Amino acid sequence: MRTLVLTLLLGVGLASPALAQRLPATVTPEHYTLWFAPDLAAATFEGRATIDVRLEVPARTIVLHAAELTFDRVEVRSGDVAVTAVARPSPETETMTLTLPRELPAGPATIDISYTGVLNDQLRGFYLSRANGRRYAVSQMEATDARRAFPSFDEPAYKATFDISLTVAQGDSAISNGAVLSDTQGPGAGRHTFTFARTPRMSTYLVALLVGDFACRSGESDGTPIRVCATPDKLPLTAFALEAAEFQLAYFNRYFGIPYPFGKLDIIAVPDFSAGAMENAGAITFRERLLLAEPGRASEDVQKSIASVISHELAHQWFGNLVTMQWWNDLWLNEGFATWLASKPLAEWRPDWDVALDDATATQEAVALDALPSVRAIRTNVQTPAEIGEVFDGIAYEKSAAVLRMVEAFVGEEPFRRGVSSYLQRHAYGNAAAEDFWDEVSRVTRQPVDRIMRSYVAQPGVPVIDIETRCRADETVITVTQERFTPSASGTSAASATGGATWTFPVCLAQAGGAPQCHLVSQPRTEITVPGCAAEPFLNAGSSGYYLSAYAADDLRRLAGPALDARPATDRLALLADEWWMARSGRHDLGLFLDVADALADDASVDILQALSGRLGEVAGTLGGGPATPRYQAWLREHFAPALAALGPLRAGEDPDTLLRRAELIGLLGVTAGDGDVRQQARRLALDYLAQPDALPAALAPVVLRTAAIGADDALYERYRARLRTLGTEPETFYQFFNALPWFTSPAQVQATLALALSDEVRSQDASGLIGGLLAQPAARDMTWAFVQARWADISAKLDAFQGLPGVVSALGNFCTTDAARDVTAFFAANPTPVAERALRQALERVEACRTFRTEQAGSAARWLDARAR
């Protein structure tokens, strides 16, 4: 699904009632015939749903899903009998009960419903979108909002085929899951009707409905017609997406050994969209900025992002659409697999992108969430729409993908591919559970995939391993100890709180200059014997394991020495990450992490520099502007200013790697290190960019605009605002300026940005980005929190609940004091927000972890800086 826009997107639907429950298993849908007639001006639609079902038992009542629909007529037919049913809505469970005047026998029946609905402004179901003075009707059904577009059995296990037709105004076109079979005039003057080909069996959440003056660019891949569509003014921005989709579809056909199952492929940019993208079968919808690339200008990061999201959604056509999870508790079978698979075609298409490092970075994002005390397991019991919405998170996506990468590396890429293909073929056009997957892959690979997967899917958290080595004769005995990791910074293990949780996973060890040797561990303590006697090995060689490694201080310093350069960049990244988490947990002094950071300061990989810059920024936050901050900033300038100076002045035609390195150094020095010269340089570049759009490469613009905003006057703020109003057809450039607004932090500027967030100038999908961005700024945080409390009703009314409300709540985790946590807790006790309950718990845990980390490690950083000064 629904790709997360990282910030990472959390939640689905608005605050759905907590009473919503599963349907009784007494009726099974087999086919839907759906007709829709949207009135864009009135923001309403007429509909007719004819559902062929099988009554599993004799029935006097039928319960199906319907929300915000008004039923005009309901007829149920069984054989020669046709009866009119009385429809009784239950808004609290989002269901409709049809009461029949007589009992109908078990067997085939047909439900025929005429109804009306509203094209809502909540970015869910069948809803209204706007662009360029025009209106569009578009859809977002996942997870539980098909019921807002048509009466349905709106659960993933109820797969059926669909015949869909749309009657629209002249001048508008329509897109749905199937290819267009006909476009005929009427019914009625000024309207025409599109009829689409019957779909294969699929779940209701995959239905797509789009109406408007969309314009499309056409291509094909392996005989499948492909179109990339957008509003007419943005059609020139679709070429890159089409090129990516053509390559990726052919790749997945080869990888799975199963031809693309949905006939045609439309990929559509939608002006207003709550998710990042949505894998509707044969009609994938996207946020504009995740699909549209400015020709000749798009940065490598934007190209990579677009290609990655397209790849994710195309992978879903097999994982999620062809084979669908039985219920939302196994959402990872959709999202984890699509996330894992997304990088595969990219690695073949654009090897220069080095997507393996992106995967390694994503794994660390998963660890940050998975380390929290309240984190859920990959498989989580959910029942209500609000509960379902909250599992679209980094556990379903990044953690699940990381575990799959680990298993693939353990059993081998080709055996794993064969197991995946066999699983898909066995369950094609049906549903599956986690056990179906790992049992099949275990059978095909003859490896204990089931044991590994079960241990990670059934319990929360990430394991951390310690090792002890001793030489015995001519061999080394390595004792591996595992327990659950927690970043409490309190020095206490989570193992006691979790009953001594254990995982089954491969530990891959590498001695200096040697190839990795992998050993499966499954007990709290495991002994491994390797030939020869040597120093402690590198503990996650290849960095494919989903676990953290705790090194003894002397071994860490040895590994971070000159030999580190010879290890792959993924291993260097893992060592940096491991030591960061050891400092966060209180296992190690923060000074040890700074030793590793010092060793990697001149690393040749820009990905290492990006990771290092982020962690060093977190260290600055730990210092909290205290007495050690000036010395820390001076150390940063001493280490990294020469690297920026060595790049020289910005030159036309710089290669992507140099641009990314320059961008990271500007951010690290100008933002974290408070380098006034770099800030002034950024301001000059920003002014040049405002005057001449070609003056700054797209890869450099975001960090330049952010850095220039720090401490800037109102004149520059207003110039950013004015530039935004001219960028309707340039999504990348628009968000460069838009995302820089929270970096202006004078009180007047903060208030202006907050007012903008709730104004009609900002789409509801984007408002949380401004509010959350301000909550991330220490200078703006208190003022923004006061605004959030005062305007919570307005915020709740405007923001969608897929990423909007949970995103704002999650951003409260940027606080770092007990008083702030107490204040946040009290506010949400008085203002319950069901779609963000999990986000709230995790935000409060991040506040506490930050407070404890600051208390216990700020002194360590100061001592380390003192030692460096001597």
704 neighbors 696 (Cβ within 8 angstroms) = yes
Residue pLDDT, tens place only, 601-649: 999 899 999 999 999 999 998 888 889 999 999 999 999 999 999 999 9
Measure the CA–CA gap between 734 and 491, rounded to whole angstroms.
Answer: 45
Same domain, yes or no: 675 and 767? yes
Residue 469 lies in a domain: yes
Same domain, yes or no: 824 and 695? yes
Same domain, yes or no: 615 and 536? no
Q: Among the three residues 451, 472, 492, which one is the final residue of a domain in this structure?
A: 451
In order, the DSSP letters of 260-322 are -TTS-EEEEEESS-SSSEE--TTEEEEEGGGT---TTT--HHHHHHHHHHHHHHHHHTTBTTT
Residue pLDDT, tens place only, 405-431: 999 999 999 999 999 999 999 999 999
Tokens of 59: 């029935």
In order, the DSSP letters of 99-115 are EEEEEEPSEEEEEEEEE
Residue 7 pLDDT: 30
In order, the DSSP letters of 176-187 are ESSPEEEEEE-S
Residue with tokens 């409490």: 488
Helix (H) or strand (E) holding 475, with range, is: strand 475-484
Residue pLDDT, tens place only, 461-489: 999 999 888 888 888 888 999 999 987 64
Q: Among the three residues 399, 420, 451, which one is the final residue of a domain in this structure?
A: 451
Residue 624 pLDDT: 86
Same domain, yes or no: 581 and 493? no
Measure the CA–CA gap between 40 and 130, rounded to whole angstroms.
Answer: 10
Same domain, yes or no: 710 and 726? yes
CA distances from 374 to 491, 498, 758 (A): 18, 11, 32
Name the residue with higher pLDDT: 652 or 633: 633
pLDDT bucket at 780, cuts 50 / 70 / 90: very high
Residue pLDDT, tens place only, 193-251: 999 999 999 999 999 999 999 999 999 999 999 999 999 999 999 999 999 999 999 99
Tokens of 291: 């699909």
Residue 816 lies in a domain: yes
Same domain, yes or no: 792 and 662? yes
Q: What angle do CA 713, 718, 719 make, to 5 degrees?
A: 100
664 neighbors 616 (Cβ within 8 angstroms) = no
Residue 648 lies in a domain: yes
Residue 488 pLDDT: 67
Same domain, yes or no: 525 and 596? no
Q: Which of 577, 568, 516 is nearest to 546 (CA)?
A: 577
Residue pLDDT, tens place only, 663-676: 999 999 999 999 99
CB atoms closer than 10 angstroms to residue 867? 9
- What is the mean predicted confidence (pLDDT) over 15-36? 81
Residue 241 lies in a domain: no
Tokens of 21: 């429950």
Residue 91 lies in a domain: no
User: Domain of 664?
Assistant: 566-869
Residue 565 pLDDT: 85
The CATH number of the domain holding residue 821 is: 1.25.50.20
Same domain, yes or no: 571 and 686? yes
Q: Among the three residues 389, 421, 451, which one is the final residue of a domain in this structure?
A: 451
Residue 130 lies in a domain: no
Residue 473 pLDDT: 83
Measure the CA–CA gap between 59 and 103, rounded to whole angstroms.
Answer: 5
Measure the CA–CA gap between 216 and 210, rounded to whole angstroms.
Answer: 13
* Strands laid side by side in the 86-90 sheet: 59-65, 95-104, 86-90
Residue 264 lies in a domain: no
Measure the CA–CA gap between 350 and 68, rounded to whole angstroms.
Answer: 46
The CATH number of the domain holding residue 530 is: 2.60.40.1910
Q: Which of 773, 794, 785, 767 is nearest to 827 (CA)?
A: 785
Measure the CA–CA gap between 266 and 225, rounded to whole angstroms.
Answer: 8
pLDDT bucket at 870, cuts 50 / 70 / 90: low
- Burial, 776: exposed, middle or buried (Cβ in 10 Å; 0-12, 13-18, 19+)? middle
Q: Which of 297, 302, 232 is nearest to 268 (CA)?
A: 232
Could you give the number of structural domains in the chain?
A: 3
Residue 2 pLDDT: 52
Residue 361 lies in a domain: yes
pLDDT bucket at 11, cuts 50 / 70 / 90: very low
The CATH number of the domain holding residue 413 is: 1.10.390.10
Measure the CA–CA gap between 662 and 186, rounded to whole angstroms.
Answer: 59
Measure the CA–CA gap between 708 and 681, rounded to whole angstroms.
Answer: 8
Catalytic annotation on 313? Answer: yes
- What 3-state class would DSSP assign to 392? coil
Q: Which of 231, 118, 227 is nearest to 729 (CA)?
A: 231
Same domain, yes or no: 554 and 574? no
**Omega within 30 of 0 (cis) for the link into 187:** yes
Residue 801 pLDDT: 75
- C-alpha 253: how far from chain center: 25
Q: What is the identity of the amino acid at 202?
A: M
Buried b (16+ CB within 10 A) or exposed e, 846-865: bbbbbbbbbebbbebbbebb
Altogether, the residues listed in the chain come to a count of 870
pLDDT beyond 90 at 17: no
- What 3-state class would DSSP assign to 383? coil
Buried b (16+ CB within 10 A) or exposed e, 126-165: bbbbebeeebbbbbbbbbbbbbbbbbbbbbbbbbbbbbbb
pLDDT beyond 70 at 686: yes
Same domain, yes or no: 688 and 637? yes
Backbone angles phi, psi at 295, to 5 degrees: -60, 135
Same domain, yes or no: 648 and 754? yes
* Strands laid side by side in the 173-176 sheet: 125-131, 134-140, 209-212, 173-176
Residue 243 pLDDT: 98
Which of 155, 246, 288, 313 is catalytic? The answer is: 313
pLDDT bucket at 1, cuts 50 / 70 / 90: low
CB atoms closer than 10 angstroms to residue 592? 20
Same domain, yes or no: 696 and 780? yes
